[in-house]
Structure 1
Amino acid sequence: MNILNEILTQADKNPHAVAIIQLQKTADNGYFQQSISCTYQTLIQEAQQLTAHLDTLSEKGAQIGVVMGNTPEWVLADIALLLAERVEVPVPLAFSGEQAAFLLHNCQTVLTDAMGAKRLAQWQADGLLLSASPLGVELGKMPPHAHPVRYQPKSGMQDAIIKVLHTSGTTSQPKGVRIRRHGLDALVAALWQCARPDDYQRYLNLVPLSLLIEQVTALYMPLTSGGTVIMPPADLPPLGSPGVTAVERLSLIRQTRPSAMTLTPALVEALAERARQHGNGPNLLQALFGRETVPLLAAGGAPVSAELLHQLDAQGIPVYQGYGLSENSSVAAWNSRGANRIGTVRKPLAHVEVKIAEDGELCLRSSSLFAGYSSEDPSSCAIDQSGWLHTGDLATQDQDGFISIIGRKKTMIITANGRNISPEWLESAYRSVPGVVQAIVYGDKQQFLSGIFIVNDMAQAHAIRRAIATYAREHLNEIEIIPDPVLIPYSPEVMARLFTVTGRPRRNDVPSFLAQYETVTV
């Protein structure tokens, strides 16, 4: 499979089919499909115009920043960069100015939509020095080019780096995962072996498109099958944004009637609770999804409770849990119809081999492996001489080949919204706040981060909380903010309980400590 060729083929077959719908809020906070509706023909024509503009600003293989919200302009930019054979560097809007600068320093051009332009201006006001040339992108208003690119499908394309995706490391600077064209093609082809042709006719996009898994499932799966990408209103924050809870998106799901979604664990929990409340009443699928048949529901990012999955499955709502990592261009294993074993992430995809090392680490080898990092980090995954990627995850594999993820060798936090966060450097950062002696950051499977802050003077608790919030707002991205820090007065007993003699947090002791502490203080 060639992703770009497949999208162009769909545009040729059904030029007037709707490729993108962006919703708009009504006065009563409902939603309707009147904001933007873009056909395949329009999408490809404008992508060709944008490609021609890129040719005047950069050479093939150049890195191009993408600073955008979840808007049709993102889809347009992504297709244009594939056409132009440029390297896409997505910059999450939640990133701090320092992190954005790190991502953009090798970019020759930065593509922005209205939201991205506003965020870029904020970063610049905070000191970001931008050497790249910004180029505003607006669907339906791309200025015509004298020599638009007329791209024709190619029977074969050389392998090349087409994206640099940035994930959290052990420092404040994200590490760059270099994604290959042939690797992404192999992944999408393997995913189609687990799905039906009509599964992605109406895909609802709920998480940031800066995440590679959402680019795969929200863009490439629908657009290679003639489907439609449904986007919420541009000003509706995606899941994972501070203060946004999964339950708030249930009404949007019901109104949009999606045929497929990739769910965060928090959204699985919200759906399960709503289904439980509905009980044995009629029209459960209508109440949840606005349709008579269940959508294709995939879950990833962090483990989901097997109990919840069994509950939903018993109510006729299968959720197919998967496993992946950016270093494999996202998905490596995924439960699917006819091969769904709850509590596992299924067997590896057709193009992936796996083995369990002697220490229990999951290793994999595939045709979709990345091409190394653009910036190394102690948390980087290693590929050995035999081509095995050492994932850092602990797993088991049963006699039928089904894989169960049981933990991580590393301390990376994976939130309920599928965001990867390294606690070590974040703890170091928070220790710089005046009044904070030590900090432990946690939040695995939670929607938002939590943290224990050891302080010398509890009489200054209010001022310290304010300082923590101010520091996070000024120096960290939105995902790294701890909305409700737990302040604990310093004592040798507390330090001995929560930290080793070398100052390393005793992470496994945090739950029991908090339970005892709350009992004493209530």
Structure 2
Amino acid sequence: MPHELNAFREVLQAHATDHASKVAARGITSNVTYAQLLAEVERREAWLREQPDGPFALALENGPEALFWDLAALFAERPSVILPPFFSAAQRLHCLMQTQATLAVANDSFAEDLRAAGFTPGERFWERPAVLDAGLPAGTAKITYTSGSTGSPKGVCLSATSLLYVAQELEVASRPTEPTKYLAVLPLAVLLENLGIYAALLAGASITLYPQAQMGIGGASQVDWKRFLGTIALSGAESLILVPQLLLGLVTAIERGMMKVGPLRFVAVGGAKVASSLLERAEAVGLPVFEGYGLSECASVV
């Protein structure tokens, strides 16, 4: 097991021991403590280790269950791909066929996608036999897909070492502001969000994980601003990650007096070019925004 991966497990074990009753993840219907988180992850890790080798596909809405499976695949050292909910059915099929995933855990809404790719439902997993070797590089922990500018989505293969090194650096970068409550705004399929959650776990923060629709976000660009801003306020978030469009809406709302900066201490923004004028507006209203830049090939943040 890579050193970074073993160190990540040790951090979660320490949280589960030293802060057993602290909330690790908040979902729509339930909260999960750090002790419960570790137990749920290790149970799913054991299930994955019982299965034949092969990439693992995850198609769940944001929530504690998705976090359990994502971490379980990481610790089981099984290559995984999280299917982006904002992709078309054809794009998701491309991801499944290109990765040659043999196992999947999915919401009912993704059942048609999985059947189209040759999967059948089993006791715990959707399953299909391996047809050919996808040619994943040795040590691949996650295949993250980016739509790119043209053609089919591109899959980028990343190691656990790369992912966790960036997560550790994100945690270090946010440490001076000491955020203890993190709101996951973007889908887990977005690598930057995935890493943001790892960073929050390293810090021992409490993570709020709601489905996109619950927060008023639909698809890649539709936003119910009243619901979205309300989610930020009610969650008590001290840290979150936004794309420029969402940052623009948040800054505009603060400028118009529709909401306050409140407890927000570290607002990361990335995923696309951010206008300098928008960063200046954020600074003017006292919103602590930190711009990041990177490529998927570099585990999202450089």
Band of TM-score, shorter chain: 0.7 to 0.9
**Contact preservation (8 Å) 1:97, 1:128:** no
**Contact preservation (8 Å) 2:80, 2:142:** yes
Aligned to 1:16: 21
Aligned to 2:292: 322
Moved more, 311-320 or 200-209: 311-320
Inter-CA distance 132–328: structure 2 relative to 1 (3 Å threshold): farther
Which letter does structure 1 place at the counterpart of 2:44? Answer: L
Aligned to 1:296: 266
* 1:350-377 CA-partner distances (Å, limit 9, x unpaired): xxxxxxxxxxxxxxxxxxxxxxxxxxxx
Aligned to 1:495: none
Aligned to 1:313: 283
Inter-CA distance 192–121: structure 2 relative to 1 (3 Å threshold): closer
Inter-CA distance 238–90: structure 2 relative to 1 (3 Å threshold): farther
What is the SS of the residue equivalent to 2:268?
A: strand
User: Following the alignment from structure 1 to structure 2, what is the Cα–Cα distance between the partners of residues 80 and 123?
Assistant: 23
Counterpart selection for 2:202 from 220, 224, 236: 224
What is the SS of the residue equivalent to 2:80?
A: strand
**Contact preservation (8 Å) 2:179, 2:265:** no
What is the SS of the residue equivalent to 2:178?
A: coil
How far did residue 129 of structure 1 move?
Answer: 3.4
The answer to whether 1:331 aligns with 2:301 is yes
**Contact preservation (8 Å) 1:309, 1:318:** no
Aligned to 2:129: none
User: Following the alignment from structure 1 to structure 2, what is the Cα–Cα distance between the partners of residues 87 and 103?
Assistant: 13
> Which structure has the larger Rg over C-alpha atoms?
1
* 1:422-475 CA-partner distances (Å, limit 9, x unpaired): xxxxxxxxxxxxxxxxxxxxxxxxxxxxxxxxxxxxxxxxxxxxxxxxxxxxxx
Aligned to 2:46: 52
**Contact preservation (8 Å) 1:246, 1:266:** no
User: Following the alignment from structure 1 to structure 2, what is the Cα–Cα distance between the partners of residues 243 and 303?
Assistant: 16
User: Following the alignment from structure 1 to structure 2, what is the Cα–Cα distance between the partners of residues 237 and 90?
Assistant: 20
User: Following the alignment from structure 1 to structure 2, what is the Cα–Cα distance between the partners of residues 135 and 314?
Assistant: 55
**Identity across matched positions, percent:** 26
* 1:135-185 CA-partner distances (Å, limit 9, x unpaired): 658xxxxxxxxxxxxxxxxxxxxx821101111246553221001111112
Aligned to 1:3: 8
Higher relative contact order (CA 8 A, sep 6+): 2
What is the SS of the residue equivalent to 1:178?
A: strand
What is the SS of the residue equivalent to 2:81?
A: strand
Corresponding pairs, count: 282
User: Following the alignment from structure 2 to structure 1, what is the Cα–Cα distance between the partners of residues 120 and 176?
Assistant: 41
Q: Which structure 2 residue ranges, 5 or more long, are not aligned?
A: 126-137
Aligned to 2:31: 37
- In angstroms, what is the RMSD of aligned CA positions? 2.5
TM-score (norm 1): 0.50
User: Following the alignment from structure 1 to structure 2, what is the Cα–Cα distance between the partners of residues 207 and 107?
Assistant: 24
* 1:87-145 CA-partner distances (Å, limit 9, x unpaired): 11111123333322222231121012xxx2x2222335xx71324665658xxxxxxxx
**Contact preservation (8 Å) 1:65, 1:110:** yes
Which letter does structure 2 place at the counterpart of 1:189? Answer: Q
Aligned to 2:74: 82
What is the SS of the residue equivalent to 1:288?
A: coil
Aligned to 2:62: 70
**Contact preservation (8 Å) 2:264, 2:287:** yes
**Contact preservation (8 Å) 1:204, 1:231:** yes
The answer to whether 1:111 aligns with 2:116 is no
User: Following the alignment from structure 2 to structure 1, what is the Cα–Cα distance between the partners of residues 221 and 298?
Assistant: 31
User: Following the alignment from structure 2 to structure 1, what is the Cα–Cα distance between the partners of residues 254 and 295?
Assistant: 30
Q: Which structure has more strand as a fraction of its residues?
A: 1
**Contact preservation (8 Å) 1:203, 1:230:** yes
User: Following the alignment from structure 2 to structure 1, what is the Cα–Cα distance between the partners of residues 213 and 174?
Assistant: 31
Which letter does structure 1 place at the counterpart of 2:51? Answer: L
TM-score (norm 2): 0.84
Counterpart selection for 2:194 from 215, 218, 225: 215
Superposition map of 1:113-192 within 5 A: 116=107, 118-123=108-113, 128-131=116-119, 136=124, 160-169=139-148, 172-192=151-171
User: Following the alignment from structure 1 to structure 2, what is the Cα–Cα distance between the partners of residues 238 and 226?
Assistant: 27
Inter-CA distance 273–97: structure 2 relative to 1 (3 Å threshold): closer
User: Following the alignment from structure 1 to structure 2, what is the Cα–Cα distance between the partners of residues 319 and 277?
Assistant: 18
How far did residue 4 of structure 1 move?
Answer: 3.1
Q: Which structure 1 residue ranges, 5 or more long, are not aligned?
A: 24-34, 138-158, 279-283, 333-522
User: Following the alignment from structure 1 to structure 2, what is the Cα–Cα distance between the partners of residues 246 and 261?
Assistant: 18
What is the SS of the residue equivalent to 1:81?
A: helix
The answer to whether 1:274 aligns with 2:253 is yes
